[in-house]
Amino acid sequence: MTTRPTRIEVNCTTGEVLEIELTDAEVAQMEADRVAAEARKAEEDAKTVALADLKASAKAKLIAGKPLTAAEADTLIL
């Protein structure tokens, strides 16, 4: 048996604190958000790796006195 997620509502007029079970639609939205966040994270991680690779390639070419690509040069310019 799984426990349905809940949310907290604090009524600022009465001081009442309610713990409310999420609706089916809200649970489905949470799952969709989780999937979307995983996809975004994978994309961000891929970009981070690609940038690190470009920087490493630019550094190696500079040391070797070889010409850089435009993308490699971009990693060196602020």
Partner 1 sequence: MTLIQSVTLASAQASISFTSIPATYTDLCVKLSVRCSDAATDRQMFMSFNGSGTSKSSRVLRGSGSAASSYTSTDMETGRVDGAGSTASTFSNIEIYIPNYAGSNNKSASSDGVTENNATSAFAELAALLWSNTAAITQVSFAVDGGTNFVQYSNAYLYGIKNS
Q: Are 77 and 62 in contact (CB under 8 A)?
A: no
Q: Which is nearer to partner 1, 14 or 65 (CB)?
A: 14
Residues that bind partner 1 (CB under 8 A): 5-15, 17, 19, 22, 26, 29-38, 41
Task: Return the structure tokens found at 72.
Answer: 């490699």
Q: Which is nearer to partner 1, 45 or 66 (CB)?
A: 45
Q: Which is nearer to partner 1, 49 or 66 (CB)?
A: 49
- Nearest distance, CB of residue 73 and partner 1, angstroms: 18
Residue with tokens 């604090």: 10
